[in-house]
Structures are given as C-alpha cells and as structure tokens.
Chains A and B, each alone.
Chain A
Amino acid sequence: MAMLQAAVREPGAARLLRYARRNPATTICCLILLALLLVAVFAPLIAGDPIKIDPARRLTPPDAEAIWGRDHLGRDVFARAIYGTRISMLVGFSVAFLTTVLGVTIGIYAGLSRIGSLVVMRLTDAMMAIPAILLAIAFASILNAGLVTVIIAITIPEVPRMVRLVRSVVLGVRNQPHVTAAVSIGTSGLPLVWRHILPNTMGPVLVQATYACASAIIASAVLSFLGVGISPEVPSWGGMMADARSVFRLHPMLMLYPGVLLSLLVLSVNILGDRLSDALDPRKSRRGAL
C-alpha cells in the first residue's frame, strides 16, 4: 500500500506497527480475515464433527461437547459454524478469482477490438438485464447440487460488471502516451497487453474483485437460505440460518451465530475493498464499485 512505501527506512515490524496505529480499521479487518482464514484451514483441529446427526439430543443447550449447543438434528452448532467458514471463504475467493480471470480476459478483448466491444457490450447488457440473484438461483437449480455449481452460478452474473470495468479502463489507457508509443513501434497482441495494458487494470480490478468476493459470500448465503445449491448437510452459514428459521423464536442464537460470523467476514472484505480503493486513488473517496 502507498502508506507502506514510506520514505523513512524502518525495520519491517516497526513499520507495520506504525501503519497499524494509523489505520486501525484496516488492520482490524486484515486480522479478522486472517483469523477466519486460519479457522477455515485448521477447522478439523478446532471443532468436532459437523455432519453427524444425533436426533435424541436435538436443540440441547451448550455443553462440554457442543459449546454452542446443537441444532434441530442434534448436530454440533459450533462445529458447523467453524466448517461453514470454509464454504464461505472458498466461494468468495473462487468467485473473485474466476470473475477476475474471465472479466479481465473478455474486458481487455472488448477494449482493444472494435467488433469485440460491440458484441461484448450487447451481451453484458443482456446479462445485466436479468437480476443476478434470479440468474444464480436458476443456474443452481438446473445444475446438480454442489459447491462447484454454486460457484459457477454466482460467478456468471458477476462477470459482466468486471468486463465493463476492465473495458472502460482499457479504453482510457489505450490513448495514453506510453501505449500509443508502443503501438507505433509495432508492439501488439500479447506483449502489448502484458506490458502496457494489464498493469493499469490491476488496481481497479483488484478493488472490484474484493467487492465481488463480498457479494459472492452473501449470495451463497442467500442461495443456501432459499434451499438452492448446496446440499443441506454440508455446513454453510446460509444453510444454518435456514435451518434455524423454524426454531428462531426459541433458540435465536442458532440464527445469530452464523449471521454474525457472516456479517463479520463480509464487513471485513468490504472495508478492505474500500481501503484498496482509497489507496489506489484517494481522490475517488469511496465511490464504491457498482
């Protein structure tokens, strides 16, 4: 980040601490994300079995074994919440990654080719005319239930936004002196893209990818909540909240645990996105990518 490129050379750790003190919000977010990532990776070490049902002990309050109690099928709520981190992060990062790869590729093509631009713009217009969540639900229902399905279903509506962003950046960059100079000496195709176009897109793309990650995490929770996509026995925060619906009044914590975790994760990612956006262009001051 810009801040880190301080003119004064300090030892790394001290520099980090200074940054942390100046930007408490960002630091906290990064720490939260790191913590959740570790939780996701080391889930088996932290929690018990999230899938095993125990109908005889359904909805029992917290005890030594299940520190957050059990759900309507007797499953360990804490374990499911911990393992649920995996699904959310996996979906978030996968969608962000796929959206980036697809969006950048198609967007650069659209930015450089006149015909490509025409075609791609019409297609993205068409796709953005269909409400994203409906598209995602439709895809998820049509393909077989599973994580891959959910990732694909959420990625597809996100790609047009990224494509448009990249295309507009490319259109702007195309007319800059270093690019026209390169073109005039005969650089074209892959080297042109690689050396001149791509680096300029990275900033906005990174910001957009971050927001895409956040909205993907919410989207996957919504899909699970509506009963579409992931099989109900796979522990996911959305699924946990859907299960908790029918007992919300008597056991509100079953909805709140996953709800708070989900909000925390999404909040951290969104704030990170804001900070990245600021760092790349402080003038823009949190316009948000829409």
Chain B
Amino acid sequence: MRVRSLAAVALAAALVLGGSVGANAESVLRLRMNGDINSVDPIATTNFTIRNSAYLIYDTLFALDANYQVQPQMAEGYTLSDDQLTYTITLRDGLRFHDGSPVTATDVVASLERWGKVDGLGKILFSKAASLTAADDKTVVLQMNEPWGQVLPALGKISSNVPFIMPARLAAQDPSDPVKEPIGSGPYKMVVDEWVPGSVAVYEKFADYVPRPEPASMAAGGKVANFDRVEIRYIPDSAQAVDALLNGEIDWIEDVGADLLPLFDGSDTAHIQVSPQAGNSLQLVVNHLNPPFDNPKIRQALQLALEQPPFMQAIFGEQTQLYQICAAVFFCGTPFESDINTDRILHRDVDQAKALLAEAGYDGTPVFLPHVTDIPFHDHAYSVLKPMLEEAGFKVDEQMTDWASVSTRRASKEPVDKGGWNVFFTGWGFVDQSNPMTNVYVAGQGLNGWFGWADSPELRDLRVKFAETTDPGEQKQLAEDMQRVAYDLVPFVPLGQASIAQGVASNLEGFIESPVPFFWNVKRKD
C-alpha cells in the first residue's frame, strides 16, 4: 500500500509539473472556428468554415484590399482593351501548386469556369462573357460580349463562393462532385494524413509559396506565413473553447458568445477583439418549394410572427454594443440602407399573423426546425423561434442537429420527409449583403439560385438594370425597389445585425481586420 501510494503521488506530481501545455506551441497556430472541416472543396459549398480554411491553402487571381478596391493577387497585372471587352491577365512568376506543378493559365481557366457554375456573380459574369481562354501558360484572356463594370469585383470576390484557383485536373469535376484532394497554391498546404473530421484539420507552411512584395491589405498584398503549422480544432462546447484559450491550449476563437465575454476580464493570456466587418446578421432563410412556405401569404404571416429584439437579447444579453436592430436587406451603415416595406418585419403582430394564416388556408403542416446545437448564435435563435412561431399559430416540428448537417441538408430540394427543409438560420456577412449584385436574397433566381429558391422575374429585372446603370441616384432607387419586392416575396427574414467578438491569445499580433478571418501576417510577439 505504501509503495503504491508513493508511486501515485510521484505520478501525480509528474503530470502536473511535466510539460507546459504545448511546449512547442510557439510555431503552431491553433484555431477554433465555428464549425468543423468536413470538406476540402470551397466551390462545392458556401459554408464559411470551409471558406476560411480554404484561404489557408488556396490563392485567388484578384483580391480586395482594405479599401475594398480590387488588386491583382496571383495576377501580375492586366490590361483592358479600349472597347472594354477584352481583359488580358498575366500570371505572376513562380506560382506553384502544393503537388509541385506550376500554376498555368489553363488551371486558372478551369477553376474559374467551375466557380462560375455555382456562384451568383460568377454566373452573371459567364453569361456576359464570350470566352475565357488560356492564350499561353501565363496569360488568361477574358472576352466579353458587352462591357460590364463588375468583372473585377466578381473575380476579386472575398466571400463564398471565392474563385479559388486549383489544378485543372481537379477543377474538371462538376461543382456538385466535391473535390477530395486539397491541392492549392496558397501559403499553407493541408496535411491530409492528419485530418480527423470532427476533431482537427492540420496545415503546414508551404515552403515554395512566393508572397507578393507589398504589405498585406485585407485579402490582397503579401501573404507571409509565419507559422510552421496551423491546426483548426473542432471544440463544440464554446465555454470549453474559451477556457482552452485562456489556458493557452488554443490561440484564436472565431466567435466568443456574448455570455462568455466576462471570462476574459483580468486575463493576461487572451483578450477580446471586436470585429464589425466580420460580423454577421441573423437571418431565417425560407424554402419556397415546400409547404407551408410555398404560399406567399403564409410567408408574410411569418414576418408578422417574428421580431428582432428577443433574438438579439437571447444571443447577446447585456452586450448591446455587439448588435443593432436592422431590417435593411443591404445591411445598416451601408450605402444602400433603407427602411422601405419593413413594417411587417419590425413589428410583431400575432393576431394579424393568425388572420393571414387563416386567409391563406394554413392546414397545419408543421414547420420543420433543424435546431443547430454547436453554434451558440443559432442554438439560442432556434429556442426563441419555436415559441414565437407557435404563438402565432404555426405548428412546429423541431429536431436537434449540428451546423454541418444543416449545411448539407439545405441543398436538398426534396420535400421535408425526404431530407428537405422549411427554414434554417444563417448569417451572411457584411460584404456580400451590402452589394445589390451579390446579395443572395434579391436575386430571385428560383431553382437556379441560392437555397430557398425564391423566384421573382421582377427582382431579376431590377438587378439587370442595376448592373447597367452607373448613376448613384438611379442605383439607390433600384436598390429600394429591390428591398420592396424582396420583402413582399420573403426569401428570408432579417433578425438583427451583429459585430463579432473574437477571442485572441495575447501573444499574437498582425491580425487583419476583414469580413473573413485571414491568418497570414499573424505572428507571435517577440
């Protein structure tokens, strides 16, 4: 007994004293994103976690700088013909893929074509283009049918779907067939052998990456990788993630829930970084294909059944500085902000909602709620949503699930009992929402559009007109018309606009303020 207990004490001492948490943590960057990395193809999905990880391993032809101006990234430069129809783009020297092969114009063409099949802006681009070809190994030629001012903004798109460049042999796959090999030309490369879906995704510095000479500026400029290794860890319990950050076990948390902000008080290992640009809105996306929301009146009853404050309060509590009530389809604090036709959204009226339901002949078809549990934002939102719907006369069928599953399920156009859906929460960011050309909810593209598949010839028409005009007054008017039509059509219900509070290890510096988290330029303080 005595010997055994001595051994036990010795072991305990060794455990406690032996090794700080992560002795070689200096050159490893450990990130905790909102979701899990369950796919390596950023074209097959718009999932933001996949997008964020894709920025580590892929690079883009053009990119937005901190002033939201489009800059060449993989491109050395470009020329535009006098008639505004021909773009000749030359690639930089020394670009290599992670499998050793050089990046050629053929790869760029193939990648852009694949992207163009699924991305909203990309589709418009290709509909106006006569051809996209590789003139030689380093030159890409884009021939337009008509002049279009959005060509570069499209190619420099910062958020889903980002026109990442991958080898032509992989880009040859149809976008709905996910690429399984993560081969890009970015500053890090993925170590597939160490990838454990549901747990961790591992990336290594890519020695052959040649950063641009300029300093980093949002998505543009020189991307210098300062770490040997990056790990994206999946920690579903947010409080645990914060504890891990405070304890030095991880370095960065994408979104610290408002409840947990007080935990950072007095800590010298980690602190909060508020990012307005990385903030999201809370949106309830509506599926127009399945009952009951295939009926426009029932969709408008939905608007009347909800209001923003309870959602925002449930998520942010007392941290009112992190959100604002905003019903503008193009976000508040942006050029196209407006309050046209927002009455039903901003004011909750249960009686009127019930009346509309009766008028529409609502037959009690339950609204299927996929209650996401691993993103606090969504988790709280579903809990608030259910009683609000029920009080307004809707029947609800709720099931617990996670974001990755919803991300997969929302692609289904089937009825609910065959794997389809009615509604789900999401949060499009600042950048895409503020631009009428990229806002998915005013696209009205029906079955060819983003999830929800709201169909509106009027919206399509308005967007075409918007693309054609350069007069700001006209653009503002068109934007307002878009909002008016959209809020009668109800492709979604806006439920609040938020900044994001990131958790950051205090020995890190070099973070870039951006709508999308970037990890080049970041390094440990000396």
Q: Which residue numbers of A lie inside 8 Å of B, CB to CB?
A: 51-53, 55-56, 58-59, 72-74, 145, 227-228, 231-233, 245-250
Q: Mark B314-337, 1 if CB is under 8 A from A, else 0.
A: 100100000000000000000000
* Cβ–Cβ < 8 Å partners of A58 in chain B: 313-314, 317
- Bound Cα distance from A73 to B384, whole angstroms: 8
Q: Complex Cα distance A55/B385, Å?
A: 12
* Interfacial chain B residues near A51, Cβ < 8 Å: 387
Apart from A55-B314, A245-B240, A246-B257, list 15 A-B contacts with CB within 8 A: A51-B387, A56-B309, A58-B313, A72-B259, A72-B380, A73-B314, A73-B380, A74-B314, A232-B400, A245-B237, A246-B376, A247-B239, A250-B259, A250-B260, A250-B263
* 23 contacts across the A-B interface (CB closer than 8 A): A51-B387, A52-B387, A53-B310, A53-B383, A55-B309, A55-B311, A56-B309, A56-B310, A72-B314, A73-B314, A73-B384, A74-B314, A227-B400, A232-B400, A233-B387, A245-B237, A245-B239, A249-B242, A249-B260, A249-B263, A250-B260, A250-B262, A250-B263
Closest to B371 in A: A232
Check A59–B317 contact: CB distance below 8 A. yes
List A contacts of B262 (CB < 8 A): 250
Digit string of B177-221 for contact with A (CB within 8 Å is 1, else 0)?
Answer: 000000000000000000000000000000000000000000000
Is B92 interfacial (CB-CB < 8 Å)? no
Among residues 249 to 299 in chain B, which have CB atoms less than 8 Å away from a CB atom of chain A? 257, 259-260, 262-263
A145 adjacent to B239 (CB under 8 Å): no
Q: Taking CB as reference atom, which chain A residue is nearest B311?
A: A55
| B174 close to A (CB within 8 Å) | no
- Nearest neighbor of B246 in chain A, beta-carbon distance: A249
- The reply to whether A59 and B400 contact each other, CB–CB distance below 8 Å, is no
Q: Pick the contact of A233 from B259, B310, B311, B386 — CB < 8 Å?
A: B386
> Which A residues are CB-close (under 8 A) to B237?
245-246
Shortest Cβ distance from B425 into chain A, in angstroms? 15
Chain B residues within an 8 Å CB radius of A249: 239, 242-243, 260, 263
Structural contact, A73 and B259, CB atoms closer than 8 A: no
Q: A72-B380, A246-B238, A246-B239 in contact; A55/B313 too (CB < 8 A)?
A: yes
B343 adjacent to chain A (CB < 8 Å) = no
CA distance A74 to B317 in the complex (A): 10
**B405 CB to nearest chain A CB (Å):** 12
Q: Mark B352-393, 1 if CB is under 8 A from A, else 0.
A: 000000000000000000010100100010011011000000
The yes or no answer to B101 lying at the interface (CB within 8 A) is: no
Task: Please state if A248 and B239 are interface contacts (CB–CB under 8 Å).
Answer: yes
Number of interface residues of B (CB under 8 A): 28
Using a CB–CB cutoff of 8 Å, the interface residues on chain B facing chain A are 237-240, 242-243, 257, 259-260, 262-263, 309-311, 313-314, 317, 371, 373, 376, 380, 383-384, 386-387, 398-400
Q: Chain B residues near A74: list those with CB within 8 A.
A: 314
Q: How far is the CA of A249 from the CA of B243 in the complex (A)?
A: 9
**Measured CA separation A114–B491 after assembly (Å):** 65
Residues in A whose Cβ lies below 8 Å from that of B263 = 249-250
Knowing A145-B398, A246-B238 touch, does A56 contact B313 (C-beta < 8 A)? yes
Contacts of A228 in B (CB 8 A): 400
Chain A residues near B371 (CB-CB < 8 A): 232
In the complex, the chain A residue whose C-beta lies closest to that of B312 is A55
Counting chain B CB atoms within 10 Å of each CB, the highest count among A56, A246, A248 belongs to A246
**Centre residue among A52, A59, A232 by max chain B CB count within 10 A:** A232
A232 touches B383 (CB 8 A): yes
Complexed CA–CA distance, A41 and B462 (Å): 62
Least CB distance from B272 to A in Å reads 15
CA gap between A24 and B310 in the complex, in Å? 50
A59 touches B384 (CB 8 A): no
Contact of B259 (CB < 8 Å), options: A52, A53, A145, A246: A246
Provided the pairs A53-B387, A58-B313, A73-B314 are in contact, do residues A145 and B376 lie with their beta carbons within 8 angstroms?
A: no
Complex-state Cα separation, A52 to B384, whole angstroms: 10
B398 touches A53 (CB 8 A): no
Residues of A within 8 A of B373 (CB): 227
The complex places the Cα of A231 from the Cα of B309 at a distance, in Å, of 24
Taken together as a complex, chains A and B put the C-alpha atoms of A248 and B387 apart, in Å, by 25
Partner of A73, one of B257, B309, B383: B383
- B307 → chain A closest CB, angstroms: 11
Nearest 3 interchain pairs by C-beta: A55-B313, A55-B314, A227-B400
A55 to B258, CA, bound (A): 13
Shortest distance between the CB of A289 and any CB in chain B (Å): 31
A74 to B311, CA, bound (A): 12
CB pair B243 A55 closer than 8 Å: no
**Given the contacts A58-B313, A59-B259, A250-B259, A53 and B239 also touching, CB distance less than 8 Å:** no
Q: Which residues of A contact B314 (CB under 8 A)?
A: 53, 55, 58, 72-74
What is the distance, in angstroms, from A181's C-beta to the closest C-beta of chain B? 54
Separation in Å of the B192 CB from the closest CB of chain A? 29
Chain B nearest CB, measured from A147 CB (Å): 15
In the assembled complex, the Cα of A51 lies from the Cα of B386 at a distance in Å of 11
Contact A233 B400 (CB under 8 A): no
CA distance A231 to B397 in the complex (A): 10
B384 touches A55 (CB 8 A): yes
Q: Is the Cβ of A145 less than 8 Å from the Cβ of B383? A: no
Closest chain B residue to A56 by CB distance?
B313
The answer to whether A246 and B260 touch across the interface, beta carbons within 8 angstroms, is yes
A245 CA to B373 CA, complexed, in Å: 12
Q: How long is the Cα–Cα vector from A56 to B386 in the complex, in angstroms? A: 17
| Nearest CB on B from A240, distance (A) | 13
A58 to B380, CA, bound (A): 11
- Distance to closest chain B CB from A230 (angstroms): 10
Closest to B374 in A: A227
Which chain A residue shows the least CB distance to B387?
A53
Q: Which residues of B contact A248 (CB under 8 A)?
A: 239
* A231 adjacent to B313 (CB under 8 Å): no
> Complex formed: what's the CA distance from A59 to B399 in Å?
25
CB neighbours of A227 from chain B (8 A) = 373, 400
Report the separation of the CA atoms of residues A73 and B379 in the bound assembly, to the nearest whole angstrom: 11
Q: Which of B237, B383, B386, B399 has the most CB of A within 10 A?
A: B383
CA distance A232 to B380 in the complex (A): 11
Chain A residues closer than 8 Å to B309, beta-carbon distance: 55-56
Give bound CA distance, A58 to B317, whole Å.
7
CA distance A268 to B240 in the complex (A): 32
Cβ contacts under 8 Å, B260 to chain A: 246-247, 249-250
Q: Which residues of B contact A72 (CB under 8 A)?
A: 259, 314, 380
Chain B residue numbers with a CB within 8 Å of A145 are 398-400
Alpha-carbon distance between A247 and B317 when the two chains are bound, in angstroms = 12
Contact between chains at A53 and B257 (CB < 8 Å): no
Considering only CB atoms, which chain B residue lies closest to A242 in the complex? B373
